[in-house]
A and B are shown apart, each in its own frame.
Chain A
Amino acid sequence: MFHPLDTSSPPPRGAGLALSGCLGYRRFHRRRMLQMAAAGSTSWLTTVAERLARAGERRTTPRPKSLLILWLQGGPSQLETFDPHPGAWIGGDVQAIATRVPRVQIADTLPATAEVLDRATLVRSVISKEGDHERATYHVKTGWRPDPTVVHPSIGAIVCYKSPANIEIPRHISILPSQWPARGGYLGPAFDAFQMYDPANPIPNLVGPTSPEVLQRRLDPLLQTVESEFQRGRLRDLDRRRTQHQTTAREAVRMMTSEQLAAFDVKREGETTLKRFGDTPFGRGCLAAVRLLSVGVRCVEVELNGWDSHINNHELQTSNAAILDPALAATISELEARDLLEDTIVVCGGEFGRTPQINRAGGRDHWPHGFSVLLAGGPFRRGYVHGETIANPDPAWFKRKDSPEADSSRWVKDPIDVPDLHATLLYALGIDPSEEQMTPIGRPLRWSDGRVVHQLLA
């Protein structure tokens, strides 16, 4: 029977993916601690309370790994961010600055990030075969190229699927999503990311118009009766596979009454902390992500849109980097300060890079043949740079008949293609990339068909 208010018992075994989905079913046993944190007026108390709450989780079982994706939608230029070539004909107007890693420089657009680079692995040689935004986004978020017969799950959906449901708020969250937020794919819509916008604003409609008793009466028997009548004789597993109506009702009710909602509220942090992340929606999104990971959320994706610089590349990339830089640096520092970096993997990148050559409009176009992704946390090496792109490619190589995708080795050294990056991330998250699932089309599929790049791991 459908008991949306019953949060004390788990769904029946075999009830399937959607019943647990991206929202937990067990009452949060650290509620009292979080309540104390929520009631506190100072940020240090919140932080301490959350740390203790998180430590409580560690005491009972090993903590599962979580994932934080800082998604740079539109295709950030590797040359204006993590892989500058100042002085070269492809270099543009950007300068390079030293970082905490000896002999490694990044663009002067990312000064704060330079100070935390010793805690990260920087891959400068990611390659892909997708140069269209939608297809490339799908590719990088799922590790697979678009396939008309099946929709693959985003990596965050896999993380949620492979870890136990343990909280009352969504475990897979997309902050500031634009067109293509993370999806559950063949795992089902229960694993789609919960979408929210600037954390400066409260999540709307969380307060109901009636008392809990009236709500319960409305849900059961009234709504329950109509729902069971509607499902009768209709599509098999209608709720789980298609509508998610009853599932989301349960989740919404649970969320309405959860004390874990405090994790969304970045205003509980001090002004100083907020400023360190940058006074921007993206900065606040990153801070909210840290808080959400603290209470057990498994995957948060924070999106910074606007990197598609076909014109005025330098200005656009610089202005976006100014938003990214404090948020990225503060995220890594804050995760470390809250003892979360060991168990959280941070990925910062976009769907592709941008062309070495600058077009007539002062822009750079799409370039999937060698771009950068920053990885931090978990077992990823610290202060390591993998791969490199060529600084002075022969302009003749850009001739059409000499298509660059034909031979990526001339552009990048030690390339890592997107499936390999995914396999490595899954491995780092404690998930076997070669594990097979039966998809709805009756075709067994591995989580990833890439190979693990052990060089990236400590």
Chain B
Amino acid sequence: MTAMTPDLDKNTGDAARRRGRRRSGYLLMGATLLAAVGIFAGAVRRQPDITPPRFPAAQVVAADFQEAVQSVDRQFTQWARTEGVEMAPRADNLTILRRISLALIGTGLSLEEIRAVEMVPADEQVQWWTEYLLQDRRWADYFSERLSRAFVGTNQGPFLLFRRRKFNQWLAEQLEAGRPYDDIVRQMIAADGLWTDTPPVNFITATMDEDQKNRADPVRLAARTARTFLGQRIDCLQCHDDFLGTMELGEADAPESGTQQHFHQLAAFFAGTGLPDPVFRGIRDDGRTYRYKYLGEESEEEVTPQVPFYRELLPTDGKPRQRLAAWVTHSQNRAFARATVNRIWALLCSRPLVEPVDNIPLHGPVPPILDTLADDFQAHGYDLRRLIRLIVHSQAFQRDSRADFEITETHEACWAVFPVTQLRPEQVAGCLSQIARVTAIDHRSSILTRLQSYGELQDFLKRYGDRGEDEFDSDAITIPQRLLLMNGKLTRERTKNDLVGNTATRIARLVGDDGQAVQLAFLTVLNRYPSPREEQVFVAHLGGKHGNGRVRAMSDMFWALINSTEFSWNH
């Protein structure tokens, strides 16, 4: 018996400690619950903490803006008529708002944001949401990431000489400040200095490597300039003349078949670009000339800088890169405005007007809308925000991707319906991060939330894969991507029992009404209300379950919504 006493005491002590722990646990759970209720109620029932811009957009109601939109709309209507196809009706507001969100900030809407938009009159919601996002730093950050893929590629770049984060940050600041696009491009092409304190020179240093002994790579810069700023794929002219007869340069009234000279004369503008001593002064032009041995020639020859078309627009004075920058962004260089419009259209609609995005026939036929938008872009000082507004307000952007007639690829090709396109990996990851939260993950979010979101994003991107610079190629989902969405870490995180970290658990625990719970799940994940049939099926799945059973049922629902086509595709 005596031997039992210590055990008894121990048991008594353990029991007391367990009671204490349980009490603390209850208190903690209670506090967490209260906090969660507070946060959730704020999103679901109270007025959202979002301040709309006070007055959207004098620009949007201006007569010339409306005329431009109408002109674009007329041309799309004419295009559909020419193709002999019907046009889909306008999509519902939430669908359009999701498109805008995905394009401008790379995620869907948070529940709080949906509630905020719903407080705006229906006919003002698109305009309101567009303006809201264009004033949100998330737009500048995300758009700069997308644009920088075209400017400096997606590779790591040379160690020490290339600072992607600095470059993106600088680009985001330019976008946020509303700097004209032609000015941004001129800085990239012509800037001198160090890549750390003059970030636009990273456009140049991205092409440098150790083998080039502190010289920029004229060939890569020529190819990049032609593709990104002018919409001309002339890379193959590096090695040989165009023997397919598909590349016309020169002037409209005197077209020239592409030759090696066209390419290397363009490259010659960058021949003097490098890091002459003293290196700490950064990128400079040192006047070095460009030499090249053309295919079949016995020796190298000096190549004089020259542009491959619109030669009368090239200034005669100035340093080579300054002359080139002035020519690229010249108001009469139609290729520049066209290339920009085509890319911005693709960033907003996930598919360019002319495919591929960086190969627009210089003298060949293009959709008239491209020139209409290019003219407006040039006439309004290369204002990217105006161009975005113009596209978002066009009927083509707002058309539904479904209709009561049979939709074929011809309908999509002439924008009679909005095309169904796969989301980019970071958009899928962004949506997966966002659905954990009721409020938007933005600059107001805690640093921990943002760090967690960033970590999740990087991990997901690594596993999901990225198409690199070919970001508008149309691909189907792959089996590894499918497996990642079905079984991957991020999906597990979003569907596990976590009252603090997951919207799914919070809805299950805190929303007693099954119909409302199902609606909130659809709004959170797909940014739309369920159809009657969906509501019926999902409510039945949730019905009658309580406690952990209800949490598991809601996890099932979130898993199904995350794994739907709709979640991973823009529509």
27 contacts between A and B (CB under 8 A): A129-B243, A170-B479, A204-B463, A204-B483, A205-B486, A206-B483, A208-B487, A209-B491, A222-B560, A225-B533, A226-B560, A226-B561, A227-B564, A230-B571, A235-B411, A239-B565, A242-B476, A245-B569, A248-B477, A249-B486, A251-B479, A252-B482, A252-B483, A256-B483, A400-B297, A403-B296, A440-B409
Rounded to whole angstroms, the CA-CA distance of A238 and B411 in the bound complex is 13
Q: Which residues of A contact B483 (CB under 8 A)?
A: 203-206, 252, 255-256
| Contact call A192/B476, Cβ cutoff below 8 A | yes
Within 8 Å by CB of A243, from B409, B420, B487, B561, lies B420
* A394 contacts B by Cβ under 8 Å: no
Residues of A within 8 A of B (CB): 23, 129, 131-132, 135, 170, 179, 189-190, 192, 194-196, 203-209, 214, 217-219, 221-223, 225-227, 229-236, 238-239, 241-246, 248-249, 251-253, 255-256, 311, 365-366, 398-403, 405, 440
Within 8 Å by CB of A222, from B401, B541, B566, lies B541
Given A205-B480, A207-B487, A222-B537, verify A245-B565 contact (CB < 8 Å): yes
In the complex, the 4 A-B pairs of residues with the closest C-beta atoms, listed nearest first: A400-B296, A189-B476, A233-B402, A244-B476
| Contact call A195/B478, Cβ cutoff below 8 A | yes
Residues of B within 8 A of A (CB): 211, 235-236, 239-240, 243, 294-298, 401-404, 406-409, 411-412, 417, 420, 422, 463, 468, 474-484, 486-488, 491-492, 495, 526, 531, 533-534, 537-538, 541, 556-557, 559-561, 563-566, 568-569, 571
Extra 11 A-B pairs, beta carbons < 8 Å, given A204-B484, A251-B482 = A190-B476, A192-B476, A205-B484, A205-B486, A223-B564, A235-B407, A235-B420, A243-B476, A243-B569, A245-B477, A249-B486
State the Cβ distance, A184 to closest chain B Cβ, in Å. 9
Which of B404, B409, B483 is the most central at the interface, judged by chain A CB atoms within 10 Å of its CB? B483
State the Cβ distance, A144 to closest chain B Cβ, in Å. 14
| Contact call A214/B556, Cβ cutoff below 8 A | yes
Q: Which residues of B contact A192 (CB under 8 A)?
A: 476, 478
| Contact call A222/B556, Cβ cutoff below 8 A | yes
Q: Which residues of B contact A249 (CB under 8 A)?
A: 482, 486, 563
Given A234-B402, A235-B408, A235-B412, verify A243-B477 contact (CB < 8 Å): yes
Within 8 Å by CB of A205, from B487, B531, B569, lies B487
| Contact call A366/B239, Cβ cutoff below 8 A | yes
Given A234-B407, A249-B563, A252-B482, verify A131-B239 contact (CB < 8 Å): yes
| Contact call B240/A131, Cβ cutoff below 8 A | yes
B569 (CB) vs chain A CBs: closest residue: A243
B407 (CB) vs chain A CBs: closest residue: A235
Rounded to whole angstroms, the CA-CA distance of A232 and B401 in the bound complex is 10
| Contact call B486/A208, Cβ cutoff below 8 A | yes
A246 (CB) vs chain B CBs: closest residue: B565
Rounded to whole angstroms, the CA-CA distance of A226 and B559 in the bound complex is 12
| Contact call A248/B402, Cβ cutoff below 8 A | no
Rounded to whole angstroms, the CA-CA distance of A400 and B406 in the bound complex is 54
| Contact call A233/B565, Cβ cutoff below 8 A | no
State the Cβ distance, B508 to closest chain A Cβ, in Å. 15
State the Cβ distance, A221 to closest chain B Cβ, in Å. 5
Rounded to whole angstroms, the CA-CA distance of A227 and B569 in the bound complex is 12
| Contact call A238/B409, Cβ cutoff below 8 A | no
Q: Which residues of B contact A129 (CB under 8 A)?
A: 243
| Contact call A225/B243, Cβ cutoff below 8 A | no
| Contact call A402/B296, Cβ cutoff below 8 A | yes
State the Cβ distance, B361 to closest chain A Cβ, in Å. 11
State the Cβ distance, A352 to closest chain B Cβ, in Å. 11
| Contact call B531/A365, Cβ cutoff below 8 A | no
| Contact call B534/A248, Cβ cutoff below 8 A | no
Rounded to whole angstroms, the CA-CA distance of A87 and B154 in the bound complex is 43
Q: Which residues of A contact B298 (CB under 8 A)?
A: 399
| Contact call A225/B407, Cβ cutoff below 8 A | no
A230 (CB) vs chain B CBs: closest residue: B566
Given A192-B478, A243-B569, verify A400-B422 contact (CB < 8 Å): no
State the Cβ distance, B234 to closest chain A Cβ, in Å. 11
Q: Which residues of B contact A179 (CB under 8 A)?
A: 468
Rounded to whole angstroms, the CA-CA distance of A130 and B235 in the bound complex is 13
State the Cβ distance, B255 to closest chain A Cβ, in Å. 19
Given A195-B480, A235-B409, verify A405-B565 contact (CB < 8 Å): no
State the Cβ distance, B83 to closest chain A Cβ, in Å. 14
A405 (CB) vs chain B CBs: closest residue: B243
Rounded to whole angstroms, the CA-CA distance of A366 and B541 in the bound complex is 61
Q: Which residues of B contact A196 (CB under 8 A)?
A: 480
Which of A131, A232, A235, A255 is the most central at the interface, judged by chain B CB atoms within 10 Å of its CB? A235
Q: Which residues of B contact A241 (CB under 8 A)?
A: 409
Rounded to whole angstroms, the CA-CA distance of A365 and B240 in the bound complex is 12
Given A229-B531, A252-B482, verify A132-B236 contact (CB < 8 Å): yes
Within 8 Å by CB of A232, from B402, B417, B475, B556, lies B402
Given A400-B296, A402-B296, verify A243-B556 contact (CB < 8 Å): no
| Contact call A229/B533, Cβ cutoff below 8 A | yes
State the Cβ distance, A19 to closest chain B Cβ, in Å. 14
Within 8 Å by CB of B407, from A203, A218, A219, A233, lies A233
Within 8 Å by CB of B556, from A218, A246, A253, A440, lies A218
| Contact call A234/B557, Cβ cutoff below 8 A | no
Rounded to whole angstroms, the CA-CA distance of A28 and B9 in the bound complex is 63
| Contact call A243/B422, Cβ cutoff below 8 A | yes
State the Cβ distance, A424 to closest chain B Cβ, in Å. 25
| Contact call B476/A209, Cβ cutoff below 8 A | no
| Contact call B487/A209, Cβ cutoff below 8 A | yes
| Contact call A222/B296, Cβ cutoff below 8 A | no
Q: Which residues of A contact B420 (CB under 8 A)?
A: 234-235, 238, 242-243
B538 (CB) vs chain A CBs: closest residue: A222
Given A218-B560, A234-B420, verify A132-B239 contact (CB < 8 Å): yes
Which of A206, A244, A253 is the most central at the interface, judged by chain B CB atoms within 10 Å of its CB? A244
| Contact call A233/B403, Cβ cutoff below 8 A | yes
| Contact call A217/B480, Cβ cutoff below 8 A | no
| Contact call A400/B560, Cβ cutoff below 8 A | no
| Contact call A398/B476, Cβ cutoff below 8 A | no
Given A249-B486, A400-B296, verify A194-B479 contact (CB < 8 Å): yes
Rounded to whole angstroms, the CA-CA distance of A400 and B491 in the bound complex is 58
